Structure 1
Amino acid sequence: MRNRNYRLFATGQVVSNSGTWMQRVAQDWLILSLTHGSGTALGITTGLQFLPLLLFGLYGGVLADRFPKRRILMITQAVMGALALLLGVLALTGTAQVWHVYALAFGLGVATVVDNPTRQTFAVEMVGPNDLSNAIALNSAIFNTARIVGPAIAGVLIALIGTGPVFIVNAASFGAVLLGLYLMREDELYVRERVPRAKGQLREGLHYVRERRDLVMLLIIVFFVAAFGMNFQMTTALMSREVFHSGASSFGLASTMLAVGAVSGSLLAARRKRPRMRLMLIAAAFFGVLEIVSGVMPNYGLFLVMLIPTGVALLTFNTTANAVMQLSVPAWMRGRVMGLYMLVFAGSSPIGAPLLGWLAEVFGPRSGLVIGGVVSVAAVMGVVAVMAPRTALEALRPRPRMADGLGDTE
């Protein structure tokens, strides 16, 4: 926080992330109102928002490498704000239709394709390599704090004035990000030379990752943990409703407890200067074990308590994996590598969630958490075993810095 540019960015993110979580709640409520409670329509809306990431996610990383990141973020944030404003106007005037929500959700997904890898890699340009792990952890703390505050505010506003004003508030919240980006001192950014436009840059990024066995190992673990271990919106809902027979308020409390653990994990991660592959492997394994223990808790009170350390382990894994990925690649390749990382991280959930839901239906609600934890632990053990002895040993000991000074993955 001693970095002026990062302070401006973080302040804008506090406001904007809260608005984004408010819109997620309002968008779900609007589509349910328009379709008279159709769960299928709600699923389509969520799917359309993720679809661009699956289709074009890798191209977002190419753009992040090719153009100035600060300028890209100003464009993507402005587009997101405009989409929220349009949806708010449609809702306020009573002209919103289901296809409007579908189209705007897809448009938001397209903007996110470019925004995600750019925002991830812009962190190192703001604070430099030495404070990158700290910045990623603080970003996670901001995100998870907004995850608690945003839906609570949205629920009150929707009850008082409806969904339309919530979208307008979110549109206005992007102004905080744009103002922060505008006020940044460009001469204090750690800007690297841009990658010139050329053919085959996407293939070049994929080939680079394929040749880096440590990055392949990291991505495989991220895929399995994200696909099977991180579906808490579904698994905690099943546990709350079907196992402990509690209401919607109790489900909200479970989400809050997990978020409290996530914020705590983010703040603890912010104390670490250098991310280590070894810490990522340990955190992923501990997360899996804690998720299994959460799934077998005999009563709701103990279940809630176990969600806190589970959230800590999860965010330790997330922030460490993100930082290791960024610091282990040269600056000219970072955008494409993080585009692939975000594709694996965010795009794996739509793949694993339906399978995990089916397994929970067949074997019982507890199995959702237990299976997710088992898969997470097995992914760590399996990847290390398959890639041992050479790759596993390299991952567990310090690596030398790369030529650009940003390649430490010890």
Structure 2
Amino acid sequence: MPILSNPPGSLLLRSFRHRNFRLFFTGQFISLTGTWMQSVAVSWLVYRLTGSSMALGLVGFASHIPVFLFGLFGGCLADRGNKRAILIAAQAAAMLQALTLAALTLSGTANVWLVVSLATFLGLVNAVDMPTRQAFVVDMVGREDLHNAIALNSSMFNSARVVGPALAGVLVAAIGEGWCFLVNGLSYLAVIAALAAMRLPPSQPSCGSGSVSGHVGQGLAYAWDDRPIRSILASLVVTSLFASSYMVLLPVVVNTVLGHGAQALGFLMAATGVGSVLAALLLALRQKSRGLSRWRIVSGLGVGLVMLAFAFSRTFWLSAFLSMILGFCLIFFFAASNTMLQLRSPDAMRGRIMALYSVTLVGMAPFGSLLAGAAASLLDAPTTIALAGGLCVAGVALSTVLDRKPGQEQSASRPC
């Protein structure tokens, strides 16, 4: 059935005609709701234990630096191995991390260094899980519906981002952080069951039996030689590095600038998620990838400009509105970048290109977390967010100018 002839509802949900994707979507939504609950609870626990913005930055660094260091090896593993088996193992490991954190917190023995250690372990899991999960999408829906599936995945991720923080804000305020960690640990059972129930053709790894370092080098060389991929990754580096200050310093802003508590923190994170869902749904309704490059740049510039406005806000409801706009710009920028990278990636290289996406998207965040924490301890949280927003605008603008060099043509067969 030609997609162009379908009504808007069919366009939006066309990836749901694939049974495996329906299973994946349902399991991931439940699991990610728990993940976002844990994200809010960890931030509040660390701030409650230490009262330090630097400690928040340290935990953010610990949870993301493994993706930067080992993400490319995780992508190579995805290209060489059985993606479903890898994902099931990764989800089981993440469940163990959440249950351990719950036990420590509920027993009253949690401290910031134990939280940092467990955050590092989860980062190692994500170094494998993230590129594998991204590369697995095409196995569920094929290339025809890949564009739609990526957008629906983003909508699912950010719908959980609305529900999870809102639930976490209520639970943390009522009974404490430990119960959020316990709920997250149990939520992994849903995605493990969904992966196990899928009907997939026999696994056909796309890499040979050469060395891991050789395959990693091939992925790096391919990304560097493809100018559009190189430009997309460069702008992702800048945005991920500096936009992370918003999430890292949000507990400080809520507490010291806006004068609210954990429930308000959950509400602002949920508002960010609402904007993100709207952006993802808008992307899912697009029938073609043409024009995505232009809108990717506009949304990237929007990230920095909205961060500047957020830094000057002293009203809770204005901050909530700006958080929603920031969420829209962020997810449109990231999801558009993801789509363009996947459409330009050959199947044999997909895991490694998605690993580079994960490294630039998540792996730069630890450095941004440390920078944000250090800058906020020297200046203050709003000033740090304002500086980071200005750097986002400058970085995206510079990468756009460099990408517009005359005499170079895009080599992809799919227009962006």
Normalising TM by the smaller chain, what interval? 0.7 to 0.9
* Pairing of 1:41-80 with structure 2 (within 5 A): 43-80=57-94
Go from structure 1 to structure 2 and tell me whether the alpha carbon gap of 1:302 and 1:94 turns closer, same or farther (over 3 Å shift).
closer
1:4: which partner in 2? Answer: 19
Match of 1:195 in 2: 207
The answer to whether the 8 A contact 1:18-1:149 is kept is yes
Does residue 222 of structure 1 match 2:236? Answer: yes
Partner of 1:322: 338
Distance in 2 separating the partners of 1:372 and 1:409:
32
Alpha-carbon distance in structure 1 between the residues aligned to 2:380 and 2:109: 42
User: Which whole-Å deviations, capped at 9, do the CAs of 1:291-332 have from their partners, x for residues lacking one?
Assistant: 444445685544433333332222111100011111111111
In structure 1, the residue matched to 2:144 is 130
Superposed counterparts of 1:87-126, under 5 Å: 87-91=101-105, 100-126=114-140
Name 1:383's counterpart in structure 2: 399
Q: Per the alignment, do residues 358 and 160 of structure 1 end up closer, same or farther by CA in structure 2, a change over 3 Å counting? A: closer
Q: Which amino acid aligns with 1:197?
A: S
SS in 2 for 1:186: coil
Structure-2 residue corresponding to 1:404: none
In 2, Cα distance between the equivalents of 1:30 and 1:238? Answer: 13
User: Could you tell me which residue of structure 1 aligns to residue 29 of structure 2?
Assistant: 14
1:146/1:224 CA distance change after superposition, 3 Å: same
The yes-or-no answer on 1:24 pairing with 2:70 is: no
Query: Larger relative contact order (C-alpha < 8 A, sep ≥ 6)?
Result: 2
* TM-aligned CA deviation for residue 220 of structure 1: 1.0
Change (3 A) 1:157 1:16: same
Once the two structures are TM-superposed, the CA of residue 221 in structure 1 deviates from its matched residue by: 0.6
Give the gaps of 5 or more residues in structure 2: 1-15
| Cα distance change of structure 1 residues 362 and 104 upon mapping to structure 2, 3 Å threshold | closer
| CA positional deviation for 1:383 | 1.9
Write the distance in 2 (CA, Å) between the matches of 1:299 and 1:93: 37
Hey, what's the Cα distance between the residues in 2 that align with 1:288 and 1:3? 37
Given the two structures, how large is their TM-score scaled by the length of structure 2?
0.83
1:223-264 Cα distance to aligned partner (Å, 9 max, x none):
111112343224555655565x43235554433322221121
Structure 1 counterpart of 2:346, which letter?
Answer: P
Q: Secondary structure of 1:130's match?
A: coil
1:225 and 1:372 in contact (8 A); partners too: no
The Cα shift of 1:137 comes to 1.9
One-letter amino acid of the counterpart of residue 314, structure 1 = L
Q: For the residues of structure 2 that align with 1:239 and 1:103, how far apart are their CA atoms? A: 26
Q: Percent identity?
A: 37
Provide the residue aligned with 2:11 in structure 1: none
TM-superposed CA distance for 1:10, in Å, is 0.7
Contact kept in structure 2, 1:254 and 1:304, CA below 8 Å: yes
Distance 2:378 2:98 in 1: 39
Question: Taking structure 1 as reference, are residues 236 and 49 closer, same or farther at Cα in structure 2, changes over 3 Å only?
Answer: closer
The corresponding residue for 1:247 is: 260
Alignment partner of 1:172 is 2:195: no
CA RMSD of aligned residues (A): 3.1
Instruction: Judge which range, 312-321 or 47-56, deviates more.
Output: 47-56
Q: CA deviation at 1:290?
A: 3.7
Aligned residues: 396
Q: Is the 8 A contact 1:69 1:122 kept in 2?
A: yes
Residues 387 and 41 from structure 1, CA distance in 2 versus in 1: closer, same or farther, beyond 3 angstroms? closer
1:63 deviation in Å? 0.4
Which residue does the alignment assign to 1:279?
Answer: 295
What is the letter of the counterpart of residue 167 of structure 2?
Answer: I
Contact persistence 1:130–1:274 (CA under 8 A): no
304-313 vs 108-117, greater mean Cα deviation: 304-313
Once the 2 structures are TM-superposed, how far is the Cα of residue 385 of structure 1 from its aligned partner? Answer: 2.2
Q: Specify the SS of the correspondent of 2:137.
A: helix
CA distance in 2 between counterparts of 1:309 and 1:28 reads: 22
1:142 equivalent to 2:145? Answer: no
User: Structure 1 pair 400/355, CA: closer, same or farther in 2 (3 Å)?
Assistant: closer
Task: Give the CA deviation at 1:175.
Answer: 1.2
2:10 is matched with none
> Hey, what's the Cα distance between the residues in 2 that align with 1:300 and 1:159?
18
Match of 1:405 in 2: none
Q: 1:231 to 1:274 in 2, by over 3 A?
A: farther
What is the identity, as a one-letter code, of the residue corresponding to 1:336? R
